[in-house]
Each structure stands twice: as structure tokens, then as C-alpha cells.
Amino acid sequence: MEIIQYEKYGIVYVTVRGRSEAELNSEFEKVIRNIVEGNNRRLLLDLSALLYLRSSALRVILNAVKVINRRSGKVVLCSLNGYVKEIFEGNCFEGTCFKDSFTIADSVESGLNVLLAPLKAA
């Protein structure tokens, strides 16, 4: 798994490529934890090149969504495909679906448009 991170317009962009393998999940967790601990309120995850997602990486993403949502922030997942898309769009537990916790955008551009909208005061 390769992780690319940068910030622009007050939005933290994270692109993940490859497979979410065990040995690289700790790196992914560290990157996302640093973003959350940095009090960021806008996170764009480009998952277009992610082929497989382990449950531990899923937990990291869901925790980041929870924390950022509490700050009245927004997380957008972009360009989901195949197996990864099925995970986020098809999993529900006790009436709550993963996709209800964040925005899923078809492209990075559409995700960027969502994140450029004004946020509520924290």
C-alpha cells in the first residue's frame, strides 16, 4: 500500500494505492491519526487505486469520520471501486449503514466541491 498525503485549501488529501496489507496498516493508521490529532476538519480520501481493504484499515477510517464529524467537519471518500465500494455501500448494522456517516463522491473533483462548501462552526 502506498499513501500520499498533502494539504490544499484547508483540505487534507490522502490517496491510498494498492492493497491494505497488515504490515502497512500501521503506517496508514499513523497517517490518519496524525490528521485527526491535528484538528483537521476536512478530509478527502481518494481510494480509486485501493484494491483491498482490511478490517483494521476500515476501523481507522470510521474512527476518523467519527472524530471529524464531532468537530462539525466533513470526510469524503472518493472514487471507490469494486470490493472497496461494496464494503462502504453495502454494510449496515442495526439500521445504520457506513455510507450514512460520510459522503461518497464519484471523483476527486466532486469530493473537492463538497469539501469546499462552508462548514458549520465547531
Q: What are phi and psi of 118, to 5 degrees?
A: -60, 140
In order of 23, 34, 56, 82, 114, the CA distances from 85 in angstroms are 23, 25, 16, 5, 19
User: Which pLDDT does position 91 carry in this prediction?
Assistant: 66
Output the pTM of the full model: 0.86
pLDDT digits (tens, 9 = 90+) for 96-112: 566 667 789 999 999 99
- At residue 11, does pLDDT exceed 70? yes
Give CATH for domain 2-112: 3.30.750.24
pLDDT digits (tens, 9 = 90+) for 26-75: 888 899 999 999 989 999 999 998 888 888 888 888 899 999 999 999 99
With cut-offs at 50, 70 and 90, classify the pLDDT of residue 114: very high
Parse the chain into domains and list their residue ranges: 2-112
User: Which pLDDT does position 122 carry in this prediction?
Assistant: 63
Give the residue, 99 or 18, on which the prediction is more confident.
Answer: 18
